[in-house]
Amino acid sequence: MTYGEHVWMPDASSLSRRVVVTPGMSGGGSLLFGRIGDWTWDAVSAACSTDVHAARNHDGEPAYLSFYYYRIRGGTVVQPHGLGFGDRLQVSSRVFDMGSRSALTLHRLAPAGLDLPDLPLEAAEFHEHPHAACLYAETFNRWVSRTRSGSNRSLAEVSPPDFAHEHLPRLANEHSPRTLVGRARQTGTFHPGGPAGYRPGGSPLTRTYALDPVRDLNGAGLLYFAAFFSIFDTGLLALWRAAGRDDAAFLQRRIADQRIGFFGNADIGTVFTITAQRWLPCAAGRGEIADLQLRESGSDRLVSVASIELAPAP
């Protein structure tokens, strides 16, 4: 079996590929999340007859398939921060209909040679019976355009006129993240009242983070969605160090479940406040959870929230 950027479409809503892990998609940072985001754009382009990379709205202005919600579920074999150079993966992606201005894409990253059914990826697999060895990703994207030239504030929801979605499979209501993400946007957390079965692990920690124009912006001048993973990891690292653990152990962390809601963008010069709360499980068998919030310093505007559940230590 040949691996590399070998891509094919099993059906009108799906995209599959065989992948060799390269330095540009491995390590302890956000590289893999960026690559999965690229696969989302590839899958939507193929399934929706739209060139996502060069999309325009009705006024001829650039339209961007922005990330509104991103969820990762780590597996026992495939982990976000556990991939090594040369690892081989089978990647399955499928796009679901979420209306005329958005799309939801599921991805499954399986070890090469894993015996899996030759069927399109279903939402029920992701939510109800994931394969233990695999990593799963869910991305919920919305089309946006700038309302002011050179500004990343007040992005407007739009849709390219050639965006085709009616033929795509629809999600069952129980698998749609709309309500979950909407509540997180209103309350500032994925865990209003705290996660069930957990207790606070100390007081919340706060730190500031200045938007880095060298590392944090993408080619369109927007705050890159994958940079949010790195920004939140600075909050997670602060909790890690406060618990007396070293940085070498941080690089070995394993992700059970990670969610990010993207509720705004930012301009050059923005300074953020990161608030991080550690939650400890009340019973054995679960890992700790970091509940994080990103706000614009000064205005207190909510930009993003995240929840990072770590796999329990062996």
Q: Where are the domains of the chain?
A: 6-168, 188-310
**CATH architecture, domain defined by 6-168:** Roll (3.10)
Percent of the chain with pLDDT over 90: 91
CATH code: domain 188-310 is 3.10.129.10
- How do the pLDDT tens digits run along the chain, 314 residues long? 444 567 888 889 999 999 999 999 998 889 999 999 999 999 999 999 999 999 999 999 999 999 999 999 999 999 999 999 999 999 999 999 999 999 999 999 999 999 998 889 999 999 999 999 999 999 999 999 999 988 998 899 999 999 999 999 999 999 999 999 999 999 999 999 999 999 999 999 999 999 999 999 999 999 999 999 999 999 999 999 999 999 999 999 999 999 999 999 999 999 999 999 999 999 988 999 999 999 999 999 999 999 999 999 77
Q: What is the dihedral of CA 121, 127, 128, 134, to 10 degrees?
A: 60
Tokens at residue 282, please?
Answer: 């009340």
pLDDT tens per residue, range 205-237: 999 999 999 999 999 999 999 999 999 999 999
For the entire predicted model, the pTM comes to 0.95
- What's the confidence (pLDDT) of residue 4? 54
**Shared fold status for 6-168 and 188-310:** yes
- What's the confidence (pLDDT) of residue 2? 45
What's the CA gap between 288 and 313, in Å, rounded? Answer: 10
pLDDT tens per residue, range 25-72: 998 889 999 999 999 999 999 999 999 999 999 999 999 999 999 999
End-to-end CA distance of the chain: 34
What's the CA gap between 252 and 264, in Å, rounded? Answer: 31
What's the CA gap between 267 and 148, in Å, rounded? Answer: 12
- What's the confidence (pLDDT) of residue 44? 97
- What's the confidence (pLDDT) of residue 46? 94
What's the CA gap between 111 and 119, in Å, rounded? Answer: 17
Torsion sign (Cα): 144, 215, 70, 191: negative
